Structures are given as structure tokens and as C-alpha cells.
Amino acid sequence: MAILNILHYPDDRLHKVAAPITDFGPELQRLIDDMADTMYAAPGVGLAATQVDRHIQMFLADVSDEQNELLVFINPRITHLDGDCELEEGCLSVPGIYDKVAGRARQVTVEALDRHGKPFKLEADGLLGLCIQHELDHLLGKVFVEYLSRLKQDRILNKLKKNRRKSM
């Protein structure tokens, strides 16, 4: 078991675009297990490889209460979006900040490969649907706060700076 370091906004490495995965060998399997440990320990309901400074197209999600329904999405792509999501989102890379992002869909269809390279298709709504959209953004180098107004972004940056100073 290993807990990986989660990059914190505004780290530039959160803006890197992830590359497709072609090798499903032991190194990837180890990374998946370590990312799952990291996500559950945080605790979070999702984690993208970008957030642990691995710039490959993979994210994990588990929105179950018992943390026993791990989903692994490799080389994911959204094939359908519908409706409007009213839920607020959070981010392990932007601790303590929750807000609603305009334009998030209520229902999402995603196609991806599982940890063994097997294709699957999933339709999701609610927290899982939102989490999938949020994690896919991470793989594109986008952090949710960057969708908020300039004023909100400045406030968030100030708050994060203050929190960092307090914890030093």
C-alpha cells in the first residue's frame, strides 16, 4: 500500500494533458492500487492520474458509502451528455473549496477500458456523472475552479495561500 502525493492547485503540473495508455502491465496495476489507496485515504470519490503527477489517461471513481465499488477508467471518452447538473463539486487538489460549475451535464455516457484493457460503456448521473466529467477535465489539464468567475478564482487563491501559510 502506498499513499501518493496529491498535487495542489495552482501547481502547473495540473495543466498537463494526459497521454493514452497502451501498456496494461504490472507498473500500471501497481499505480491503480496506489491511486485507490490514496483516494480512499483522502477521502475522495474520484482521483485522476494527473493529480498524482502521472500524465496518463486514467482516473478512478467510487461513490459507494462502503468504498467497495471501485471503477477504473482508462483512455475514457464521453459519448453523450444530457441535462443540467445542480450539484456542487469539490477537488482533492483544491482542498476545502466547493462550488457549482455551469454547464455540467446531469447524465453522461462514457466509454473506456478497464484495468485489464477490456472496453466498457457506462451511463451515469448524480455524483458519479459529475465526478466523471470532473476527472476527465483533470486529464485535459483543467481544474474545476478555472470555470468560476475571475473574482471567485482570486478569492480561492487567497484562501489557499492563507491555509498553506497556517499549516507551515
Active-site residues, by number, are 135
DSSP 8-state class, residue 130: H
Pick 117 or 126: Cβ nearer Zn ion: 126
Pick 25 or 103: Cβ nearer Zn ion: 103
What does 89 bind: ligand K1U, Zn ion, none (CB cut-off 5 to 8 Å by kind)? Answer: ligand K1U
**Do the bridges between strand 58-61 and strand 107-113 make them parallel or antiparallel, or are there none, so unpaired?**
unpaired
What does 44 bind: ligand K1U, Zn ion, none (CB cut-off 5 to 8 Å by kind)? Answer: ligand K1U
Pick 113 or 128: Cβ nearer ligand K1U: 128
CB 60 within 8 A of CB 36: yes
CB 85 within 8 A of CB 103: no
Q: Is 91 in the site for ligand K1U (CB under 6 A)?
A: yes
Instruction: Return the closest-CA partner of residue 71 out of 135, 162, 160, 2.
Output: 135
Pattern of binders to ligand K1U over 128-167, x per CB under 6 A?
Answer: --xx--xx--x-----------------------------
Instruction: Return the closest-CA partner of residue 105 out of 137, 122, 82, 128.
Output: 82
Please identify, among the stretches 22-30, 70-78, 106-114, 127-135, the one whose residues bind ligand K1U according to the rule CB under 6 A. 127-135
CB 130 within 8 A of CB 100: no
In terms of phi and psi (left: phi > 0; alpha: psi -120 to 50; beta: otherwise), the region of 75 is left
Give the one residue of 35, 91, 108, 112 binding Zn ion; rule: CB under 5 A: 91
What does 135 bind: ligand K1U, Zn ion, none (CB cut-off 5 to 8 Å by kind)? Answer: ligand K1U
- Phi and psi at residue 4, to the nearest 5°: -90, 155
Q: Is 38 in the site for ligand K1U (CB under 6 A)?
A: no
Contact residues: ligand K1U, CB under 6 A: 43-48, 89-93, 130-131, 134-135, 138
